[in-house]
Structure 1
Amino acid sequence: MPSLYVHVPFCIQKCDYCAFYSHSLIDSPKDLISVYLEGLEIEMAKMQKDAPQGVSSLFIGGGTPTVLKETDLERLLKMIQRYFPMDLGVEQTMEGNPGTITEEKAKLIRSQGINRFSLGIQSFNDQLLSAVGRIHNAKQAREAIRRLREAGFKNLNLDLMFGLPGQTMELWQASLEEALYYAPEHLSLYGLMLEEETPLYERYAGKTSGERPTGAMQVELLPDGDLQAEMYEWAVMRLREAGYRQYETSNFARPGYECQHNLGYWRGADYIGLGPGGVSCLNRVRWKNIEEVHAYDNLLRKGQSPLDELGKEVLSLRECMAERMILGLRLEEGVNFKTFEKDFGADLRDIYRSVLERYKNEDVFIIVKGDYLCLNPKYAFVANSILQEFV
C-alpha cells in the first residue's frame, strides 16, 4: 500500500529559511483556503483509485496545517477519512507550529483520528527563533506541548535545529535538554540549510560559516562547520544516553516510535502526495503538482491532472537503485541485499562494486552487517558527500 501525504500550503508568515511552497495568510485572499479545499476534494476523489486497498500511513504537512481554523481543519480531516479510510492503528501524523495550536484545535485533531503530532519547535531560545523568522516563542512551545499531551497525544515528535545564527554549543545543549524534559517519543534534529531564494540565504549570500552577514543583522554569526559537527555529535551521544535510538541520520525514537511514514520513503515504498506542490511516486512513475492554489483548483475542475510543467517522469531502473541506496544508507539498518535484489533483479555489490572498492580501505566508511550494507554511524554528519557516490 502507498503512504499518503497531504500538503497544506499556508502559514501565518514564512520562516526565513523555508523553501517549501506555502502562502502567507497575511498577504493572501480570504477565500484561498476554500479554493484549496475544494480542489483538494476533487483530487482525492480522483486519486483514491490508486489506493484500492487503503494507505499505509498519513502525514499532513505544509506549510502549517494548524493555521487552518477549526471548521476547515475538521473539513480536511473528514475529507481524508472519507476518501482514504484508515483503521485506528494506522500511523496518522499532523505537523504544526506552536503558536497556532489552541486547546480546541488539539482536541479536534486528536478526535478525528490523528494519533501522532510533529511539533516544529526548532529552539527554546527566543533570540534564536527571532533570528530565523519564527513567529512563536519558547513559552508558546511549552504551552503547545502541554495542550497536545492533554488532548491525548501519546506519540509526539519535536523538531529542533542546530547551526542557527548566533547559536552556541551551550544554547544548543539547553534546547535539547529542555526537549528531553518533556519526554517526547521522537526527536528530529536538523542542521540549518541555506536554501536559495529564501531571506536567510540572501542575508548570508557569499558568506561562509563563521562570517558576518551583510545588512542590519551584523551581530549574527553562523556556527562554522566544526561547531555544527560538535553539536550533532554531542546530541547523538546525549540521546543515546536518554534511551533514544538513532534510526536515521536526523531522527531519534524511543523503541517502537519510529516514524512509519518516513520509513516508507527511505525504504523505497510508493507514495501519494495531494495538494498544490504534492509529489507522488507509484510504480516508478513520479510527478509533482503545480505550486499555485488557483491553477491547481482550475485544472482539477476541468477534469485535468494538476501537474507541474515537467509532467510525469518514468524513473529508470538505475535512478530507482540510486535513490534506494542514498535514502536507505541514511537509515541505521542500511540497505538489505536480498530486498534490493528482489526489487531490482541485481546484486547491489555488483552494481556499485567500484564505489564499495573505493571506500573499503577508507577508514571503513561503509560496513556490512549480516544481510545489510550500512554507513558507519561515525560518519553520519558527512553522509551526503559519501552518498552522492551512488548517483
Structure 2
Amino acid sequence: MILTPTMTGITSPDPLQHAFKVKSAPHAGRSGSRPVFLKPEQWQQWWQQPSQATERALYIHIPFCRKRCTFCNFFENGTNPQRINRYMQRLTEQLKIAADTPLAQSRPFNTVYVGGGTPTDISSDEVKRLGEAISRFPLIDNAEVTLEGRLNGFDDDKWHNATENGFNRFSFGVQSFDTQVRQAAGRFDDKDYLLTRLNQLSLHPSASIVIDLIFGLPGQTMEIWQQDLQAVIDSGVHGIDLYQLIGLSGTRIDHAREKGKILGTALSEYQADSQARANMYATGANHFESLNWQRLSSCHWRRDSRERSVYNSLAKSGIEILPFGAGAGGSIHGHGCMNGRDLKQWHLTHDEADAAGTLTAPVQVPGMLMSPNPAAKLDAIFKRGLDSGRLDLNLLAKDMTLHLMPLFKAWQTNGLAKLETSSLALTLAGRFWNVNMQTGLFEFLSENPFVASQEPAAQSIAS
C-alpha cells in the first residue's frame, strides 16, 4: 500500500494552514480517456441519436473581454461590437440547428450556463436573441439558466431583455469590493457603484443574483477581506462563491512575480501566502455560516432557496453537457469534448459548412474529442462528494470503501476529515484543501489500483 504526503497531507497542529503546501490547480481529475477522431458523417449521426443521459446541460461560450484582469490566464479576444455581432449570429444559428436534432429533443435539459469571457459584453438585442435560441431546447420546468459576466455595462435594457427571455440566474465576477484592489486587478467600477447596482438587481422577485469573490489578490489584506465579506451581506445578493487566487502561469500577476514585482495597490503590496489565504477562507466560511447562509459546496453559500447552483453541482457529476461556441467544453454521448479557442478557425469552419449546403446538425468545429472515461461515474461520486464536503460511502461498493480506508483514515489523522457511520465528512480544513484531496485520491487509485473486475458500476448520485 503506497501512501504519500500528496495523497494524505501531513500531520500538523494546524491542518487548515499546513496540511498541504499549496493549492496549485482549480480542479482535479484523472486520466483514463484518449483522443479520438470522428469523421464528419459520424458527427452528423451523433446528433440523430437520442441521448441516454438522465441529467443534461447546455454550456454556451462567449469568448470576448474588454480588459484582461491581472489574475486571468485565459483572455481570448478583445471586445469589438462587429466581431461580437458576427460571432453571435453564427452562435445563435448553430443553437437553432442543434435544438431541432433528435439528440437535443430526446431528453430535457436541467440547466443552461452562458460563460466566457464576458457574456454581458454582448448587446441587449443579442441577449434577447440568445435567450430565444435557448428556449428552443426542451428545458425542465423552472430550469436554471445562468448568464455570467460583470456589472460594468450591464444596463437596464440588457437586464430586462435577459429576464424577459428566460435567464433567471446571474453570476457576476466582483472579485473584491475594495476600489483600490479592484483597480490593481484590472476591474472596472468602484465599491459604491457595485453595491448600488447589486441592491437594485437583487430586488427582482425571482432571479438569483450570485457574485464571485477572490481571496489572496495583491494588496488585499485580511482587513480588506473582512470588509469584502460584509459588503456581500450589504449588497443583498442571494449567493456567493469564494475562490482562492491560484498562481497560474501566464497571468499579469505571474509575469510581475518573475520580475520581482507585486501588482499591489497604491497603499499596499501585501501578498497573502498560502497560510494567509487559508485563514481568509476560514473567515469567509465562518462569516456566512454564522449568519445562517447554507453551504452548497466547499466554496459556495446561499442566503435563501432561490439560489440553487444547479449547473455547478451537476457539472461535477459527469452529466451530459452539450457545448456551443469557440472554447466551449462539455460531453456528448459520454465523449468529452473541447472546442478549439481559435476564433478565426471557428468562423472558417462555419463558412465552409455554409458553402457545402444545408446543415442538419451543428458544425463540427476544430477541437478535441476524448473516449469515454471508464471510471466517469465513480469519479463523479468522488468529485461531487468531496466538493460538497461529505462523501456518501453508501454510493460506493463495500470493497471500494475498504480499499480507500487507509487514505480516509490518514485524512482523519491529519485533521482533514471525520469518518462517520456511512459517510466521510470534511472538516473546515478539508473543505479548504478539497481539490488537493481529490487529486490525492486519484493518485492513490493510480498507485494502488483497485482490481477492475471488483469495481461495480457506480450507483446514481443523490441530488
Same fold (TM over 0.5): yes
Partners in 2 of 1:214 and 1:261 — Cα distance?
Answer: 33
Aligned sequence identity (%): 21
Cα 1:79–1:290 change in 2 (3 A) is: same
Equivalent residues of 1:326, 1:387 under 8 A apart: yes
User: Which residue does the alignment assign to 1:182?
Assistant: 235
2:393 corresponds to 1:337: yes
Match of residue 59, structure 1, among 86, 104, 113: 113
Residue of 353, 366, 372 corresponding to 2:423:
372
Matched, 1:388 2:444: no
Match of 2:133 in 1: 79
Return the alpha-carbon distance in structure 2 between the equivalents of residues 150 and 362 of structure 1: 44
Q: What is the CA deviation profile of residues 46-66 of structure 1, one whole-angstrom value per residue up to 9, with x for unaligned ones?
A: 544433222111111111111
Does 1:321 find its partner at 2:378? yes
- Indicate the SS of the match to 1:330: helix
Question: 1:298 deviation in Å?
Answer: 2.4
Deviation, 1:134, is: 0.9
- Mapped to 2, the partners of 1:200 and 1:214 lie a distance apart of 6
Distance 1:150 1:54, change over 3 A: same
Alignment of 1:38-187 (within 5 A): 38-45=89-96, 47-48=98-99, 49-51=102-104, 52-82=106-136, 84-86=137-139, 89-150=142-203, 152-187=205-240
Aligned residues: 375
When residues 230 and 165 of structure 1 are mapped into structure 2, their CA distance, relative to the original with a 3 A threshold, is same
Would you say the 8 A contact 1:349–1:356 is kept in 2?
Answer: no
1:18 matched to which residue of 2?
72
Match of 2:408 in 1: 356
1:205 positional shift: 3.0
- Partner of 2:433, secondary structure, is helix
Tell me the CA shift for residue 320 of structure 1: 5.4
In 1: Cα distance, 2:113 partner to 2:438 partner:
26
Gaps of 5+ in 2: 1-54, 354-362, 443-463
Verify the 8 A CA contact 1:337 1:347 in the aligned structure 2. no
Where relative contact order (Cα < 8 A, 6+ residues apart) is larger, the structure is 2
> Alpha carbons of 1:64 and 1:153: their partners in 2 closer, same or farther (altered >3 Å)?
farther
Contact 1:367 1:374 in 2 (8 A): yes
Please state how far the C-alpha of 1:41 moved relative to its aligned partner: 3.0
Structure 1: how far apart are the matches of 2:274 and 2:195?
30
Cα distance in 2 for partners of 1:351, 1:301 equals 53
- Cα distance in 1, alignment partners of residues 391 and 350 from structure 2: 39
Partner of 1:235: 284
Bigger radius of gyration: 2
Cα RMSD (Å): 2.7
